[in-house]
Structures are given as C-alpha cells and as structure tokens.
Amino acid sequence: MPQSRAAGAPQSAARERRTLSERVLHAAGATFARDGVTLVPPFWLDVCAGERASLALRDARAAKVAARMVAGIVKTTCGTLLVCDFDPRIQPVQAKRLAGFVPAQRDCAPCGDAGAAIDLQAALFEVPRKPARQRVDAVLAALGTRDAAGFAVALALVRPIKLLVLDRPSPEFEARVAQMLDAGTALVCTGVGVDAPAAILAAR
C-alpha cells in the first residue's frame, strides 16, 4: 500500500473542522488498474490549501501514474479522487483547470522553442500571451533555473492553480518549488519507496 502523509496540516479534530472548500485534494481508495493488473494500489490522501503532501509508491511507473491521477490526467479505476471537489472522471475540465502537473525531471522535454510552448500553454488555458510570458519569466527567476524541469513548472503555473503535482522530484527541486509557491497553492509530490525524496516531509 502506498505511504501518504500531509505535512504542515493540523491534526485530526482541527483538521476535520476544516470546510470542504479548503480541501484541494481528496483521495479515498483511489486505484488504477489496466488489463487486470493494479498499477497504483489504493491510496488515501487529503490535502488542504497551502499544504504540502507526498505519496510514495513501490516503483517509478506507479509513481508516474499516481501523479497523473492526482492531476486529473489519468482517471481512477476505482475509489474516489476529487480535485477541489471535482471528480476528474465526470468533470475533467474543471479539475484540470485547478491542477498543474510537472512531469518527472527526466521526462521533461527540452525547452526547444520556448516561445511556442508558452503560446500553446497560454492558448490551452485561455491566458493572454503577454502575461503568460511574463509569468513564466517570473517563475524561472524565482526558481533560479532555466532548465527543462524549471520550464515545466513555469508552464504549469502560467495560470492561477490550487494544486501543483510534481512527479518524482529531486529533494532540492522540490524544496525550491515549495518555497516559490504562494500560500494558497497545495503541493503534492510522488516518489518511490520510503526513502524517496517525496517522502521527506517539511512544513511550509
């Protein structure tokens, strides 16, 4: 069973008093299976606005699929997964508007034509082109990097989001992204095993 923990969250009773509107991610027994093989075993996770959580899975493929599930890109086979109370199976558009996804650093495509990539992202999320470019520049400056992974984060943050999902980030990268995020944005990272970077928790 995957290990999941939320850091910086108040404990049980106080946490339960929180209203649903503060809850950014709710996963209860969320599972992904294909052709009868369970790729992502059931996991439970509740993340509120501004919190940072991690999800450690048994292998890289499971971590990759779980990250995409949390971002609403891959649909759960069974169980419940809600992004800001939107079910990606029923309301994929609403869920994807609020969640940003950053692939694993080794999967991030090289920047190439950065301008075209920003324009495509801006068009897909209905953001004017100029503010989108300014936002990307600002995020890259805050991250202090211009590599492919940093660019992927900048593209994910081209519009306001409530949840940012990082697939198997390195500890340094995760820390830099966490520092740069605004207080209302939750961060969920996936990792492999208990010693994975994503399982190293720190309150924001």
**Binding positions for other proteins, rule: CB under 8 A:** 32, 34, 39, 61, 64-65, 68, 71, 73-75, 92-94, 96-97, 101, 103, 116, 119-121, 123-126
SS3 63: helix
* Adjacent-strand bridge partners of 191: 56
Q: At what angle do helices 148-156 and 114-124 cross, to 10 degrees?
A: 20
Q: In degrees, to the nearest 5, what angle opens at C-alpha 28 toward C-alphas 22 and 32?
A: 125
Q: How far is the CB of 178 from other proteins (least distance, A)?
A: 21
- Closer to other proteins at the Cβ: 68 or 133? 68
Is 76:116 a contact under the CB 8 Å cutoff? no
Q: How far is the CB of 93 from other proteins (least distance, A)?
A: 4
Give the tokens for residue 19. Answer: 């209203």
Q: How far is the CB of 73 from other proteins (least distance, A)?
A: 5
- Closer to other proteins at the Cβ: 29 or 128? 128
Give the tokens for residue 104. Answer: 């694993």
- Closer to other proteins at the Cβ: 9 or 167? 167
Q: How far is the CB of 46 from other proteins (least distance, A)?
A: 23
- 86/82 Cα distance (integer angstroms): 5
- Closer to other proteins at the Cβ: 10 or 129? 129
